[in-house]
Structure 1
Amino acid sequence: MSAAEKYFDPMDGVAEAQLASVLRLSVMRLSRRMRQERSNTLTPTQIATLATLKRHGSMTLGELAAHERVQPPSMTRVVAHLAEAGLVARGAHPSDGRQVIARITEAGIDLLEADRRRRDEWLAERLASLSPDEMAALERAAPILDTLAGS
């Protein structure tokens, strides 16, 4: 019997609340475990900043702060650390000398790819231990979880 089956009885009136509770705990545990597989050298904010620069290209520090939902002074410190590590390059804004543009370096891209590879390998090892039925259930659930995350 799965964890969800122990707590989730679709015949009672609180099925959605029970499922929400079990799903919340499971997703939080998996998320925490995936974070533990991340690079030990950078904070989650630093990794997220690198990923944003890789995905969206060069940005001003203000744009980056808004995108990551942090205060500009915090982003200035994050980018300074990443630049010191050679993962981000800073440059002058082409039309506003008061602003700084940040872009990810090849070393930053390499770090992100190694990080992603490490987490994918960890998860693939766990998936290999599942039954075909469990794998099929996860294949069906993945797009649903993605929809929940985006709403």
Structure 2
Amino acid sequence: MTPAVNLAKKANIPFTVHEYQHHAGADSYGQEAARKLGLNPRQVLKTLIVKLDGQKLAVGIVPVAGQLDLKAMAKACGAKKAAMAEQAEAEKSSGYVLGGISPLGQKKRLMTVLDKSAEQFETIHVSAGRRGLEIELAPAALITLTNGQLAPIGK
């Protein structure tokens, strides 16, 4: 299993793993997951790695139905500016490939911010560490496992 699933198991939190056949030509990994699993795209979240003030990395988790608000992300992290991290930097830091980056079990623990909209759902879905694999868990469990915080970072 992936480091994300192993972390959830070790923490003994309730979760469910969902698998689907990933199509290599998919233009949006998160939208593909929502569609193939028959889920509300506001309940499926994507994990994005940003660079704060051109220096340190952080994780933003927002619904696949929307986008990350970089200004709001910077504010939530106490930074002046946030920009998307380069793909190679995101993959190296997380230990996962793009489209399979999970907020759980990353190689380096980064400051993590979950969009406040996740609170409206009993459970949410995030990548479980590879394309075609999602983990379903309570938003509070995700915050606990990542030592994260909630903030309005989606748009």
State the TM bucket, normalised to the shorter chain.
under 0.3
Larger radius of gyration: 1
TM-score of the superposed pair, with normalisation by structure 2: 0.22
Higher helix fraction (1 or 2): 1
Give 1 or 2: higher strand fraction. Answer: 2
